[in-house]
Chain A
């Protein structure tokens, strides 16, 4: 059934904006309980006496939500298990995470981590690719794998009654992938075609180009985790086998387990299924957080889509690593600026002007140098004023921080979002897997909330002036070239460099 929604779903947007190639390990910026509930003024015009509906109810302040911390247990061969029990539904979600992603791969083989993740279920153990897929489907299970900048993940969702049958399949994928030539030939062709398709999806193009031009050619976070048409060609099957051996090691791995299981049962089942998984003799590669970018000043780029009805606007500037104490509080600025429906940017560009279906922003959660991104698809003839208003809103928040009422709203909203995340297994598993991937502690979500709860208006103003000022920024427009170039000039912005769908310069 085809549906049209009022607003772009936050999850879809998060995935679209995220620097990660695959959803699932994008860090959710979590919430804070409201210490004092915001109580906006009641509507003055309504006279309560004559009104059958009665006055607007003042919500009682919600009980501050404290996300439960997972139990940390010993897993197979020196791996860790983070377990959060949930016994309402007879299902379990497992995400197995290692802290190596595209930032750790050789740059000229961009996409190696992605392809290695892709090859995990293309035949493993005693089963060829067809038999493996069939075995997973026979159990009604879901097995998926992906890689982003900082990590590689393979996940399993299954009814608990089928868990002991499904775990050996997960173990085979991780420990004994077959890496056969015939499968690789098929997978790399499909991959190459997917990259060709990517060039036609304007939001994907904006995402890819933003990282490439923002981080610059030498930075480990620059290239897209799913590679480029050129780099994909240089990824060969022996590279994959070597990379697989190097990164999928138990002493670097964390099993995030959420669902209807008990500690003794799940650790015993994991140890049995992963009995063949051994720590290699060689030491694990160090996990190095990529350093800050070296670019400065304002730089602009245009990707031409000559008859597109919209221009995708993508703005990027630096953000801190996810482990930075400022990170959760920057999440508060983000909610107020572009991370919610009532955010300043969405209200301005969508609700006041009708230029777009929605604007969203976020601080990407990464182990190393972060990035703050604003993204919106703007009606092509409105791109110039939309740029002006976007700039205005950023400058305004950089200069003034958040208003008192706005801080209350942000706290309440983040509290609600945390409840929602912890209300579904896949939400909790996604958040915990992200923390594991980024080297954050198991109780990071509760720590974020505490930090957000104690932030003062002054703390937030200081952060706003440091992280939202525009002396160094990157702006990418994907749409009709002439409209884009003119809009930049109208706003007094530097002349753009024309780049293709993968961020390479094109001749004028």
Chain B
């Protein structure tokens, strides 16, 4: 537990987190797989994080939800590691794993005692090499059922869950890769075939489209050798089409206010406003994180103070820059207290939003927002798993695992004027989505309502 045990060095205490160092070694196999290694010897554990640069944005029409379904199929077994063996072997040795899919990426991660690194790598290499070829109908059917239950549990049977389905559809035109939600539709999930799975695998699951981070109690040279041993022989047949930067698309625009009201089994109305905003790491993206904090973080934030604290109209407020690779949405969500008119709250919210596009934030507000973000930069480095994910995100999005300095600098360099300028570009009251979720069939007693 030496002073630098976590390998993170902060500069002299100042208003910001100062210089932040997250050391790593980067290399590439001849098949194109990127390797990033971060040593940390505090505890005898290791985390791996493997990102494939494919997400729901890469799905074909009629096959929504496929990238995420595929993520589930990656656990369904191969000739070498038959169905259930992946988890069985991993947990028997004391390791754990999970995976997630977004519009842009699919991320597989493992965690356990450092002696498990060879097993983690062997299992990941095995499924990268063979899984697509060895998928069959029963495996597909089973995980399709699990995914449809995930949709029921996390969206359909959860208050306001349907927002996640409707917001992208309302905010992006049908031609845009972000138009459909990550989870996909029941109909498309039902339609997925084994042939679809194979062609998706061949196109996207190639070493050159992947980056592997190993973080923890390992020696970089030894870890590199292990990666070479287990992944080195895998060919990269589609090297020429993998790892291409995302096709540049014209930034999506709304030329009007797109309104929709949906019913849900809820007690209170929720208003969600969504504005098109710059992609992750594009100019203005950091300013919008700061603006979100100024609007809704803490009791003195603009929206909270007015709508929750002073006027007692809202139960909660939340503003967030939801950053993605191609384009982002800046969302403002307001949960209304029972019986409050959404029209009144929308009008008040518009007045508050008009303020932030008319005058720059105060120096105090900006400093407060920056200090909260500076803390978060340090706080999120606590575990080796979190650092592995961060290094891989910087690589996958910026081509530079060491981007943390430049990332922090974006916030340090933001000024009241730059926040104002970005707010003026993004907070366009005449072109946005306004989605309302209202209690189904008027008010009814909880626990015994029907539609």
Contacts and interface: CB of A to CB of B under 8 A. Distances in A.
A binds B: yes
Contacts of A141: 375
A196 B266 CA distance: 9
B297 A6 contact: no
A34 B94 contact: yes
A4 B150 contact: yes
A128 to B, nearest CB: 10
Contact of A1 (B4, B315, B322): B322
A424 B215 CA distance: 14
Contact of A197 (B266, B376, B384, B448): B266
A193 B269 CA distance: 12
A38 B99 contact: no
B92 A412 contact: yes
Interface string B121-133: 0100110010000
A45 B88 CA distance: 17
A193 B315 contact: yes
B contacts with A: majority SS: mixed
A501 B300 CA distance: 34
A409 B91 contact: yes
B103 interface: yes
Interface centre among B96, B99, B308 (most CB of A within 10 A): B96
Contacts of A494: none
Nearest to B229: A54
A43 B149 contact: no
A265 interface: no
Interface string A171-193: 00000000000000010011001
Given A6-B71, A89-B8, A379-B152, A43 B383 contact: no
A415 B68 contact: no
B367 interface: yes
A200 B96 contact: no
Given A6-B99, A46-B79, A309-B157, A423 B265 contact: no
Contact of A91 (B45, B373, B378): B378
Interface string A120-136: 00000000011001101
A200 B368 contact: no
Contact of A199 (B181, B182, B384, B446): B446
Interface centre among B3, B322, B448 (most CB of A within 10 A): B448
Contacts of A487: none
Contacts of A354: 141-146, 149
A2 B43 contact: no
Interface string B288-318: 0000000001111000010011001001000
Contact of A88 (B4, B80, B305, B308): B4
A281 interface: no
A137 B298 contact: yes
B84 A142 contact: no
A2 B85 contact: no
A196 B338 contact: yes
A409 B93 CA distance: 7
Interface stretch (A22-30, A61-69, A323-331, A456-464): A61-69
Contact of B92 (A38, A158, A160, A194): A38
Nearest to A309: B152
A416 B94 contact: yes
Contacts of A2: 102-103, 164, 168, 181-182, 322
Interface in A35-81: 37-38, 40, 43, 45-46, 51-54, 56-57, 59-63, 65
Contacts of A62: 44, 94, 112-116
A201 interface: yes
Nearest to B159: A200
Contact of A415 (B94, B267, B298, B323): B94
B338 A310 contact: no
Contacts of A37: 93
Interface stretch (A100-108, A248-256, A339-347): A339-347
Given A158-B375, A201-B159, A304-B448, A52 B233 contact: yes
Interface residue tally on A, bucketed by range: 35 or more
A271 interface: no
B89 A501 contact: no
A200 B449 CA distance: 10
A377 B152 contact: yes
Contact of B8 (A88, A199, A303): A88
Contacts of A351: 84, 142, 146
A412 B94 contact: yes
Given A88-B4, A347-B84, A415 B113 contact: yes
A408 B92 contact: yes
B87 A342 contact: yes
B246 interface: no
B451 interface: yes
Interface in A1-37: 1-7, 9-10, 34, 37
Contacts of B143: 354
Contacts of B367: 138
Interface string A412-429: 111111011011111100
B101 A3 contact: yes
A268 interface: no
Given A303-B447, A419-B44, A3 B102 contact: yes
Nearest to B76: A351
A88 B7 contact: yes
Given A6-B98, A137-B372, A500-B448, A40 B146 contact: no
A506 interface: yes
Interface in A400-451: 405, 408-409, 412-417, 419-420, 422-427
A45 B229 CA distance: 21
A87 interface: yes
Interface of B: 1-8, 10, 13-14, 17, 42-45, 68, 71-72, 75, 79-82, 84-85, 87-89, 91-104, 111-116, 118-119, 122, 125-126, 129, 141-146, 148-150, 152-154, 156-159, 164, 168, 181-183, 229-230, 233, 265-268, 297-300, 305, 308-309, 312, 315, 322-324, 337-338, 364, 367-368, 371-376, 378-379, 381-386, 446-451
Given A38-B92, A56-B122, A310-B157, 13 more contacts: A5-B99, A5-B101, A43-B80, A91-B378, A157-B379, A189-B312, A194-B315, A196-B446, A197-B268, A304-B448, A341-B87, A405-B92, A501-B446
12 contacts: A2-B182, A9-B98, A62-B94, A65-B113, A159-B374, A197-B159, A197-B268, A205-B447, A308-B265, A357-B153, A423-B45, A423-B382
The 4 closest A-B pairs by CB, nearest first: A88-B6, A354-B145, A161-B13, A62-B113
